[in-house]
Amino acid sequence: MEIKVGIQYVNREVVVDTDESAAQVEAAFAAAVADGSVLTLTDNRGRKVMIPGERIAYVELGEENARRVGFGSL
């Protein structure tokens, strides 16, 4: 799933492709905003992105099981 996070005072949004469910991301976002903690997202390659909860402007969740379009080799 593709997640876009807008951060206050930053011109570009952060885009993360993750295997986490929408419910997990929503719960983590709600907790980070409620208590001012850090929103931690893990992408498909295992890298972590950490964003301070008090600086999050918005979170946009993409489709959970979107089909990927691309070229593959046989």
Per-residue pLDDT reduced to its tens digit, 28-41: 999 999 998 999 99
Fold classification of 2-61 (topology level): SH3 type barrels. (2.30.30)
User: Is 58 in contact with 26 (CB distance < 8 Å)?
Assistant: no
User: Is 13 in contact with 4 (CB distance < 8 Å)?
Assistant: yes
Domain spans in the chain, listed from the N-terminal domain onward = 2-61
CA pair distance 74, 59, nearest whole angstrom: 37
Q: Would you say the pTM of this structure is higher than 0.85?
A: no
Q: Which residue has the higher pLDDT, 68 or 53?
A: 53
